[in-house]
Amino acid sequence: MIKQLLLPLAAVAAFIVLVGIFTQKQSSINLSKYIPVATPTPAQTVTIGNKTIQVEIAKTETERAKGLSGRSSLGTDKGMLFVFDSKQVSPIFWMKDMIIPIDIIWISGDKIVKIDKSVPVPKPNAKDGALPKYSPGRPIDYVLEVSSGFSDTNNIKVGDSVQMQFDLKQT
């Protein structure tokens, strides 16, 4: 009876030892060359003076048309940068479906050329044709939308230099 009990226990113990040895050898194989390692993506930012804004990029016609519509808030140092297919465009913006007021900063090259401050949300049930339209009055390269009051709070004004860091492939 002892043989009948010890023999299966010894077999199980030998099996566990063999699995342990086999697992040990497998774990010593360097799999890092086969498993991709995530690399951090660079921040998408716009810097004006000493103020850096984390931005989402609106680079397609669909993304630009939607913009910040439907957003109930926008972080203090957050914004949306509109990037166009060509430089020196004269876009027209409106506040369709916007529920937060914003500042619209118009950029040509690396300079701010116009700021529409505290652009209000449209009146409830306003028809599209009745919505005010906003434009820079001259060709521009980029548009930055930020929270209403951002420009005044951070002393941002026409003529300020703008530095941008973004990767259109990343967005």
Q: Are strands 78-83 and 51-58 parallel, antiparallel or unpaired?
A: parallel
Cα 31 to Cα 28, 36, 38, 149, distances in angstroms: 9, 10, 15, 52
Tens-digit pLDDT profile for residues 142-162: 999 999 999 999 999 999 999
Given a cut of 90, is residue 167 above it in pLDDT? no
Q: Which of 5-9, 71-75, 136-140 has the lowest mean pLDDT?
A: 5-9
Tens-digit pLDDT profile for residues 53-79: 999 999 999 999 999 999 999 998 999
Q: Nearest Cα to 45, choosing from 14, 81, 91, 69?
A: 81
Helix (H) or strand (E) holding 31: none
Q: What is the CATH number of domain 45-165?
A: 2.60.120.1140
CA 57 to chain centre: 6
CA 79 to chain centre: 9
Q: Say what the pTM is.
A: 0.75
